Chains A and B, each alone.
Chain A
Amino acid sequence: MYANGRIGRVVAVSVGQRVTTDDQLARLLQIGIVLEEVVEARAYHHYQSLDEALDEEIETLLEDAAEESADHRERLETLIDGLGVDSVPFDEIESLVDARYGRTRPEDFDGVLYDQLCNEETAYKFYDDLIEAIHESDADFSVDREELLDTLETIREEESEGVREVTEVMERR
């Protein structure tokens, strides 16, 4: 440990990008669920806050985003069920989004689209890193590895399509 007094008790960290235990995997899947819940709740808020001015294209985009997130959440919940871990209740995350939304909400259409783009890109990056971390690990998880990767890869692909869709809408406007 460090020789210098003030930071002498800093705890050693493990370096690496692997998922090695069921608990770690379950926690990451819970984080995935929260990310999906944030997307769903924010899409709903955008919908409400821009209600009168919304055009059909953005309205559909927000509806689809919320529906897709709910679907991803269910698939992740099935996976963590197999690991014996609880999901994170949607209303809990929704109330946190409610509490902070005023501080982080986009101000106009461009902002809403940009926020959606961030959502899709963030989710893509999360699943991509998670898939890589699982590939890097030879750990035996309580859930079927093939099914796990299959589910995550499908979700990642849908997030990638989401990025394309939002980008296309942004380019058209």
Chain B
Amino acid sequence: MNTADQYLKTIYVIQQGTDGPASTGGIADALDVSPASANEMIGKLESRGLAEHEKYKGVHLTDDGIVRAREALQTYCIIERFLANVLAVEEFRTEARELEAVIDGTVADRLDTIIDRKPECPDCFDPETDACACLELVSNPPE
């Protein structure tokens, strides 16, 4: 997943949560970047046809942007589930956030062949907990 994907994922989650466009400030806060950096990336997403920015209203994703955001979200869910259930990482959410920029979707797809992800993914993603809502935590990796 690259940086653009992190933005798409964030905008998508805000959009879903508020049922409306995402404000630049909200996106910048969520990604812990300056509003100027957020604006720059939003411009890039617009030029790639992935998002549309309306002054005073905010940003919303195009259909292509939504498809890519959902893929990014799925990649994130796979990483999170893999860390929690296969490597038994305690701080799996923190680590998933750190690793998502370095793990590509194709790599996540391969990891997906050994995890038990639910068919409703990525709709099961819960922004409140920043995790998959159907993620069962195991104390020990399966035998």
Q: Tell me whether B110 and A35 are in contact (CB under 8 A).
A: yes
How far is the CB of B5 from the nearest CB of chain A, in Å? 10
Chain B 42-56 interface mask (CB, 8 Å, partner A; 1/0): 000000000000000
Given A2-B30, A35-B110: A15 and B101 within 8 A (CB)?
yes
A10 x B30 contact (CB < 8 A): yes
Cβ contacts under 8 Å, A2 to chain B: 14, 17, 26, 29-30
Q: Which one of B23, B26, B98, B111 lies within 8 Å of A24 (CB-CB)?
A: B98
B18 and A126 contact, CB distance less than 8 A: no
Is B97 an interface residue, CB under 8 A from the partner?
Answer: yes
Residues A38 and B113 in contact in the complex (CB < 8 Å), given A28-B99, A95-B142: yes
Give the distance to chain A from B21, nearest Cβ to Cβ, in Å. 11
- Complex: how many Å from CA A102 to CA B127? 33
Q: How many residues of A contact B (CB 8 A)?
A: 43
73-113 of chain B: CB within 8 A of chain A: 82-83, 86-87, 89, 93, 95, 97-104, 106-107, 109-111, 113
Total interface residues in chain B, CB < 8 Å: 46
Interface residues of B (CB under 8 A from A): 2-3, 6, 10, 13-14, 17-18, 23, 26, 29-33, 37, 82-83, 86-87, 89, 93, 95, 97-104, 106-107, 109-111, 113-116, 127-128, 130, 141-143
Interchain residue pairs A-B with the least CB separation, the first 6:
A12-B32, A7-B17, A96-B114, A7-B127, A13-B97, A17-B101
- Name 14 interchain pairs, CB-CB below 8 A, sorted by A: A2-B14, A2-B30, A13-B97, A17-B2, A17-B3, A17-B102, A19-B102, A27-B87, A31-B99, A34-B86, A96-B86, A96-B115, A99-B142, A133-B102
